[in-house]
Amino acid sequence: MKAKISEEQLNKYSKNMDNNISAKDRIIAWPRMGRIDIPLKALLVSLGAKVIIPPANSNEALELGVKNSIEGICVPYKLNLANYIMALNQGANTLMMFQAPGSCRLGNYTKMAQKTLKRMGYEFDMVIFDMYQSKMKQTLQAFWHVTHCLNPFKYYKGFSLGFNKFFAVDEAQKQLFKIRPREINKGDAEKCYNKWLKIIDETNSIWKAKSLVKKIKKDFKNIPIDDKKFVPKVFLLGEFFVVLDPYINHDIEKILGDMGIEVERQIWFGDWLEGVLKPSFLNKKESHRARCVKYAKDYMKRPIGGECIETIGDTVYAAKNGIDGVIHLLPFSCMPEIVSQNILNKVSKNEEIPVLSLVLDEQTGKAGYITRIEAFIDLIKRRRIKINEINKDKKEIINV
């Protein structure tokens, strides 16, 4: 990792920040998104930072976010704002957030939140990661700003721990989604997953962190499963935040797993970080984004922001690779995903794959939400049984 940045560059970067807070006095917080807290905490603590992790998203957080947000803004913003308020109330004085280009309003989240929080009387420093410009250099500058750490080994340890923990959390979730619908003893997969989250969080050695993925796979293999059970597969995709956050999506992965469905989520922190920070010439395999751009080309020629092109590309890919259905999650009023939702009608028809779009906001009722999912799952199960019968008949005709 090339981490050399001149002191002049670092000072220039910090001119746009609040320099009234010394590095030793900084207490850093960031929004809750999935389990980003585990790896990001490891990275920052390795650099000598003090951190505060706001509570997991809840009804209390949502009410707080809605109360202090403008009407019509999407639910990810509302929950992010609530996370900031809760963290500041706990003593944080430095807030971190990344921004994105295109029509997604994520690029304006930090500016909007900053103005709102200042108007509410909070004093803090907002550190913005523009991770689509200058990538690793910009990231290192932001971390230097909040820690003033210039020790290359600490950066090596922090990024190694952080990245390996991202990959480990992703792997634990992938194994959970695979085993849960097949497990013989209900709850075994969940217990194994929670055990490994604790282990990942407590791991502070680089070499131990690098071995986590292998150990997680091995441990999940010991869970008794019914490998002959009929288990349809569903792609879960859509807007980054609502796909990752179990509170706002009503823990849809568990709902589906309990219904006997294997979830193949298409958004992973590890993949996203590699795509954003890793130079393209170092990629040994096709990136998720590159695959999506390729498969979406008949429906969308270029990215327009957010996860729009990924939503379209992943759906086409699912249809061409035997996936039984697609569940598309989007926040109410999310511009890129509204575009996706309209295009998906044509994709579903042309590619012959069932698609269910679920719009989420603070008004989404769980009972109606589950009813729609149940109806969709019933549809894809009957469709899969019919396809299997047709294939069986074709095979018998060929054998005759």
Residues 170, 239, single domain; the answer is no
Buried b (16+ CB within 10 A) or exposed e, 338-369: bbbbebbeebbeebebbbbbbbbbeebeeeeb
First and final CA of the chain: distance in angstroms?
61
Query: Given this model, what pLDDT does residue 147 score?
Result: 85
Residue-by-residue DSSP string for 261-293: -EEEES--HHHHHHHHHS-GGG-SS--HHHHHH
Residues 238, 198, single domain; the answer is no
308/356 Cα distance (integer angstroms): 16
CATH number, domain with residue 64: 3.40.50
Three-state DSSP class for residue 200:
helix
Three-state DSSP class for residue 250:
coil
Residues 246, 373, single domain; the answer is yes
Residues 74, 97, single domain; the answer is yes
Contact 77, 52 (CB under 8 A): no
Query: Which residue, chain included where needed, has tokens 């809760």?
Result: 86
Structure tokens at 43: 């990275």
Query: Given this model, what pLDDT does residue 201 score?
Result: 96
pLDDT under 70 in the chain at which residues? 1-20, 99-107, 130-136, 274-283, 393-400
**Phi, psi dihedral angles at 99 (to 5 degrees):** -130, 160
Query: Given this model, what pLDDT does residue 341 score?
Result: 93
Residues 56, 106, single domain; the answer is yes
Residues 73, 170, single domain; the answer is no
Q: Classify residue 156: in a domain, yes or no.
A: no
CATH number, domain with residue 348: 3.40.50.11900
Query: Given this model, what pLDDT does residue 105 score?
Result: 62
Query: Given this model, what pLDDT does residue 13 score?
Result: 45
Residues 239, 223, single domain; the answer is no
Query: Given this model, what pLDDT does residue 316 score?
Result: 97
Residues 253, 390, single domain; the answer is yes
Query: Given this model, what pLDDT does residue 3 score?
Result: 44
Q: Classify residue 210: in a domain, yes or no.
A: yes
Residues 41, 74, single domain; the answer is yes
Q: Which ranges of the chain would DSSP assign to H, the alpha helix?
A: 7-14, 37-46, 59-67, 75-89, 106-119, 135-147, 152-179, 188-202, 206-210, 212-221, 240-244, 252-258, 269-277, 288-295, 308-320, 335-351, 366-399
Query: Given this model, what pLDDT does residue 18 score?
Result: 52
Contact 53, 39 (CB under 8 A): no
Q: Classify residue 158: in a domain, yes or no.
A: no
In tens, the pLDDT along 195-213 reads: 999 999 999 999 999 999 9
90/263 Cα distance (integer angstroms): 36
Q: Classify residue 2: in a domain, yes or no.
A: no
Q: Classify residue 102: in a domain, yes or no.
A: yes
Residues 255, 207, single domain; the answer is no
Contact 265, 357 (CB under 8 A): no
Own/partner long-range contacts of 13-16 (Cβ < 8 Å, ≥24 apart): 13/141, 13/142, 13/144, 13/145, 14/145
Query: Given this model, what pLDDT does residue 16 score?
Result: 46
Q: Identify the domain containing residue 61 by its residue range.
A: 7-148
Residues 76, 214, single domain; the answer is no
Structural domain total, the chain: 3
Residues 347, 221, single domain; the answer is no
Q: What is the separation of C-alpha 385 from the centre of its chain, rounded to a whole number of angstroms? A: 32
